[in-house]
Chain A
Amino acid sequence: MNAQHLQPTGSAYFIAKETEKPENHTLSVLVDNEPGVLARVIGLFSGRGYNIESLTVSETEHEKHLSRITIVTRGTPHVLEQIKHQLERIVPVHRVVDLTVRSTELGQERPLERELALVKVAGTGDSRVEALRLADAFRASVIDANTEHFIFEITGKGSKIDQFIAIMRPLGLVEICRTGVAAMNRGPQGM
């Protein structure tokens, strides 16, 4: 979202060369579902110059008024640790789990991540047939169509959706909507 400044934040005296390499991490943030909570989280990222690559939020436990925010962010390990602690300071935040770190601890390569996209493709003739054929190969389903267009629904890793969109582009791609990443760790344990 604001990937232009990957500078570590904090002290104005941070002129030491950053030797750590930035990494993408996926954070799960459990929050009270109350007005303004998303603004607090986003404001923290923009105010302190952190990056948001993807953001997903929805109420997950209605009775307890809990929402789960999934954030894909990019930073050095030091900055990522700061982000986690800064998020924990927000009063309505219950828990922050760095799923990427957690998956490493569990001996896994990375957390399970899925994204859903709606992709509208318009066209006739060969390109229309080709679009349908490729959608089938990607296990995308047709959720709306007439003789001039399809809307495909596709679920998968972000990279798969990127690929699908790239393939659809020359075939009459009109519109894309993506949900952002939903993620959790493998195995029986909760977050």
Chain B
Amino acid sequence: MRKTQAPSGAFFIIQKHDKTTSKSLKKQENDGTRPMSNGQSERREMTGAEMVVQALIDNGVKHLFGYPGGAVLPIYDELFQQDAIQHILVRHEQGAGHAAEGYARSTGKAGVMLVTSGPGATNAVTPLQDALMDSIPLVCLTGQVPTSLIGSDAFQECDTVGITRPCTKHNWLVKDVNELSAIIHEAFHVATTGRPGPVVVDIPKDVQFAKGIYTPPQTAPRTSYQPKVQGDLEKVKAAVEMLAGAKKPIIYSGGGVVNSGPEASHLLRELVDLTGFPITSTLMGLGAYPASGKNWLGMLGMHGTYEANMAMHDCDVMLCVGARFDDRITGRLNAFSPNSKKIHIDIDPSSINKNVRADIGILGDVGHVLEDLVRLWRATAKADKKALYPWWEQIARWRARDSLAYKPSNDVIMPQYAIERLYELTKDRDTYITTEVGQHQMWAAQHFHFDKPNHWMTSGGLGTMGYGLPAALGVQIAHPEALVIDIAGDASVQMTIQEMSAAVQYEAPIKIFILNNQYMGMVRQWQQLLHGNRLSHSYTEAMPDFVKLAEAYGGHGIRCEKPDELDDAIKEMISVKKPVLFDCRVANLANCFPMIPSGKAHNEMLLPDEATDEAVANAIDAKGRELV
């Protein structure tokens, strides 16, 4: 992260401590025999470990997050002898995975992680599943015990492909060094195309040492894997017709728009402008349509805005773009948007008709389908924006409920206020936000406003506490000059707090903005909703001193307890060129509203002004209780 040096500067500084004397020698060897440029390599003989590094270079990898161990030492030895790829040493393999996810989500490229066998691989499982559920391209290379020992319960052996089979898009155990390079290339192809996702390549140690023929990436993918990107034009036509006839339309977009690339976000904005339709988005899709856009209704779903959810419930035509009707979005399924025709664009055929029946299901990449949709709309449909007036008036009435309102305070910092101030003081910068999981995450989604895609990294599907800090590290590595903030909770942040050490090592000035209420706030909120306010183990009686903790790691600590001191504290946080732990003491018992209680429909929201203790205690009926 040194701005004055080459990207690999930090890498060699660390090396000096280890191997100062051999460095110059290694460099010479490098220059003489290895084509370590970023250009495409030729077919030639090399060891498996060399192939790994070469294949990463050939697939455009610049950064790699990892942790060494016995079964990946040959690969680490190769990494030592090159400077095309910067390796970021994390403190726990889960951190490597989330950092790679943050890197991927903020760049649109694949994130890459390298871990050892056994515990290295099992620690990678959480980020793999996280990436699977949020469709993040993540390439995970794992070391494995030598092929001759597989199945013998060898030291640090585990059935990596068996364990990761259900939490990857695909995985491979490489048994022959001659297949290694082709498999890594295929792994990148599978991870980044179609519906993106995580892949694992498990490489036994003897394969890393063995010599074989390296083959550069080829364009001929395997015949069984050919994701369909172009939508069926007849269906797109039918969709345009249905949209043109809508009186109460809504566009509901999701993470698929972000994944499809900047062009898809651009087309989505164009579509909204052309049609004049209101638009809402899932948690994962925030930023694809700008929050400052005039047709924006805010996020929908369990903690979405009243206007977004009511519009979803009452609409007559719903256009779902790259979202998957997750249970956080739909609420009670048999009461979900009962009177609408639904158009669903998705690249994954299994998403269409999974939870909600689509009247028109268009299989294809969001960007490609939107291109056709916009083109056909221009050619055939005429936006009758006047016809939408009554609908917009209705929406305005819902909006007037001001569902994100909260009671301000001069004595304690309200968590919503903290996010608002954070937004106001950072909105003019190139700011990236990551989060952990819980109340703070929902408040961030509600009160921080995103105008650009790829600037919001959060664990949506899996809901992984501990995601945000390492993800922020990954984002900062990808965008050294940007302001990267992890909006965290006091409970979540402690799950991966050790990555502060990695952030200090790489001089990644990430800002960990902790909304500290001493509770697992969302757990407590659900205990209040479901379990008679019996707060079983959701209060943290022994909290670390985050300021001292930051200093112990070599970072910078800030504590703020008063609303009138908040702005200055945030400004200090922004100006410090170091990793910061910001201990923001917020109102302990604030809860996150509005909320669709479990088992309820979109039009049965619990609004902040109605959420009395009694309403909260009775919000969920017996049937809803068993739901998550």
Contact = CB atoms under 8 A, between A and B. Distances in A.
A88 B350 CA distance: 8
A31 B224 contact: yes
Tell which of A11, A31, A40, A82 has the most Cβ of chain B within 10 Å.
Answer: A11
B621 to A, nearest CB: 11
A89 B350 contact: yes
Interface in B328-350: 330-334, 348-350
A32 B224 contact: yes
B355 interface: yes
Contacts of A91: 169-170, 190, 222, 224-225
B169 A13 contact: no
Given A13-B330, A13-B333, A89 B166 contact: no
A82 B354 contact: yes
A85 B350 contact: yes
B332 A13 contact: yes
A40 B165 contact: yes
Interface residues of B, number: 31
Contacts of B222: 32, 91-92
Interface in B207-226: 222-225
A148 B161 CA distance: 48
B224 A15 contact: no
Contacts, number: 72
A16 B325 CA distance: 15
A146 B623 CA distance: 63
Contact of A13 (B223, B354, B627): B627
A14 B349 CA distance: 20
A16 B356 CA distance: 12
A140 B353 CA distance: 46
B327 A43 contact: no
B231 interface: no
A40 B623 CA distance: 34
B350 A93 contact: no
Contacts of A78: 353
Interface in B159-174: 161-162, 165-166, 169-170, 173
A35 B165 contact: no
B166 A47 contact: yes
A102 interface: no
Interface in B350-395: 350, 352-355
Interface string B413-431: 0000000000000000000
Interface string A31-51: 110011001100100010000
Contact of B334 (A16, A88, A89, A92): A16
A36 B224 contact: no
Contacts of B599: 13, 15
Given A11-B330, A12-B327, A16-B334, A43 B165 contact: yes
B327 A94 contact: no
Interface residues of A, number: 27
A32 B222 CA distance: 10
Interface in A63-78: 78
Contacts of A12: 327, 627-628
A88 B332 CA distance: 29
A86 interface: yes
A40 B169 CA distance: 11
Nearest to B628: A12
Given A43-B165, A91-B170, A91-B190, A14 B350 contact: no
A188 interface: no
A94 B350 CA distance: 16
Interface string A1-34: 0000000001111111000000000000001100
Contacts of B225: 91-92
A11 B327 contact: yes
Nearest to A64: B223
Contacts of B327: 11-13
B627 A39 contact: no
Contacts of A81: 353
Given A85-B349, A91-B170, A13 B331 contact: yes
A15 B355 contact: no
Nearest to A36: B161
A60 to B, nearest CB: 15
Nearest to A35: B173
A93 B224 CA distance: 6
Contacts of A85: 348-350, 352
Interface string A119-131: 0000000000000
A15 B165 contact: no
A69 to B, nearest CB: 13
B214 to A, nearest CB: 21
Contacts of B333: 11, 13-16
Contacts of A47: 166
A88 B354 CA distance: 14
Given A13-B627, A15-B333, A91-B225, A36 B165 contact: yes
B623 A15 contact: yes
Contacts of A39: 162, 165
A66 to B, nearest CB: 9
Interface in B54-97: none
Nearest to B349: A85
Interface in A91-126: 91-94
A97 B587 CA distance: 57
Contacts of B190: 91
Contacts of B354: 10-11, 82
Contacts of A88: 349-350
A97 to B, nearest CB: 14
Contacts of A14: 333, 355
Contacts of B331: 13
Contacts of B350: 82, 85-86, 88-89
Contacts of A16: 333-334
Tell which of B190, B225, B332 has the most Cβ of chain A within 10 Å.
Answer: B225
Given A11-B355, A16-B333, A92-B222, 6 more contacts: A10-B354, A11-B326, A12-B628, A85-B349, A91-B222, A92-B170
24 contacts: A11-B326, A11-B355, A12-B327, A13-B330, A13-B332, A13-B333, A13-B355, A14-B355, A15-B334, A15-B623, A16-B333, A16-B334, A32-B224, A36-B161, A36-B165, A39-B162, A43-B166, A82-B353, A85-B348, A85-B352, A89-B349, A91-B169, A91-B224, A94-B223
Interface of A: 10-16, 31-32, 35-36, 39-40, 43, 47, 78, 81-82, 85-86, 88-94
Closest 4 CB pairs of A and B: A16-B334, A85-B350, A91-B170, A94-B224
